[in-house]
A and B are shown apart, each in its own frame.
Chain A
């Protein structure tokens, strides 16, 4: 696998019609971490992750991988907050990214069926993906991201619509992915989940990175008053 990390953000700003959505942000991301992006609604988590993946044009600043951004994206995957289901069967949704990478249809089908089993949707392989339930869509989007074995995966609230059982399965899956050396960046509103998974935390507030550090230090000794309040569940 191409080594595209570390990732460095310098003075990154995203503005829309004069309004600053995020920034300025300086940040670096190393291989092997499971970074959780925390913050209240509208803090800029989605915007930051889209920018890191190159889906969001920067108004200023720069984002640098160890290789050019487009090449880096080949080794990445992105799971949107609102899962994008192609108007195809579940099976063909999983096959699509593999076909783009030149995998033969037979081999891709085997992998798709394997992943469908892992997300417990084997029975739905031939169903129209857009007509699956919200939680099922989220699982399909996750499987479609992981199926290409990316080096770096962005996950924007991947468990938002999942029940407890499915959430636990996904967490197990994500930890397994981390253990095989994948780097994960994930946003969540579930603080329990953040504590269970994170090795690093990025705490965002009003478009800026308010605090960042290892998960241990962030959860045990948050440095800022806002982080303390956020962890207590207060409005920040």
Chain B
């Protein structure tokens, strides 16, 4: 039987010595997910704000669709993106399958609804709170949106952080569209899955520690944002 302590010890050794593979995989994970968060936020935050402020005929339907998208199983997203990007698919000519770009696309699809949904909730609350004041002051539409986004920046950042948390720990979709190719599309989660399967627990655990650290960081940042909101001075 494999000794779990040996695994942890070797994992810590890899971390302390900044193992090349470990660093490379971590950086790629960050690169893919941060890119996905940037794109997902650029789409999701304004979309959520817009759904919260604008009244239009199919708003409820749009919100329901958004929530439905949030519940999409990542593996299915991976499958669909795979079909779209595969050589015979509609976007096959771009040759994106098994590249980091494909993984970014899949993650964007997975996290954008989450970001938009949290942003929608936050801005809707703020709008209800500010409604009378902003109407009373004869603000223009643009001024209202700018005010709500600025004053709602903490919950909006929380939305992006939630997107990051979901993206960095996701494995199903990026495994399918990225292919977990060494030195090309291997990221934290897919590498852990592979190394565990191979029985190389040292690297798997080392990567696991990195992943846990990133998740803790997200939680800590979210918590800190909440604390400043209740603080005396901003």
Question: Could you list which residues of chain A lie within 8 angstroms of chain B, going by C-beta atoms?
Answer: 50, 53-55, 70, 73-74, 76-78, 80, 84, 86-89, 96-97, 100, 126-128, 131
Given the known interface contacts A87-B151, A88-B151, A88-B234, the answer about A78 and B136 at a Cβ–Cβ threshold of 8 Å is: yes
CA distance A54 to B135 in the complex (A): 9
Residues of B near A76 (CB, < 8 A) are: 136
- In the docked arrangement, what's the CA distance between A126 and B143, Å? 23
Cα-based distance from A150 to B216 in the complex (angstroms): 51
Indicate whether B130 reaches chain A with its CB closer than 8 angstroms. Answer: yes
Partner of B129, one of A84, A126, A127, A131: A84
Instruction: Pick 17 A–B contacts, CB within 8 A, sort by A.
Output: A55-B136, A74-B138, A84-B130, A84-B133, A86-B151, A87-B152, A87-B229, A87-B234, A88-B234, A100-B137, A100-B138, A100-B143, A126-B233, A127-B232, A127-B233, A128-B231, A128-B233
- Which residue of A is nearest B228, CB measured? A128
A71 CB to closest chain B CB, in angstroms? 9
Q: How many residues on chain B are close to A (CB under 8 Å)?
A: 20
B20 at the interface (CB under 8 A from A): no
Query: Which of chain B's residues have a CB closer than 8 A to the CB of A70?
Result: 138
How far apart sit A202 and B215, CA to CA, in the bound complex (Å)? 60
Q: Does B132 contact A (CB under 8 A)?
A: yes
Extra contacts besides A76-B136, A80-B133 (20): CB < 8 Å: A53-B136, A55-B135, A55-B136, A70-B138, A73-B136, A73-B138, A74-B138, A80-B132, A84-B129, A86-B130, A87-B152, A87-B229, A88-B151, A97-B137, A100-B139, A127-B232, A128-B231, A128-B233, A128-B234, A131-B230
For chain B residues 45-74, which have a beta carbon within 8 Å of chain A?
A: none
Asked whether A128 lies within 8 Å of B232 as measured between CB atoms, the reply is yes
Closest 7 pairs (CB-CB, A-B): A78-B136, A87-B151, A84-B133, A128-B234, A73-B138, A55-B132, A97-B137
Give the distance in Å from the alpha carbon of A73 to the alpha carbon of B229 in the complex: 32
Inside 8 A of A127's CB, which chain B residues have their CB?
Answer: 232-233
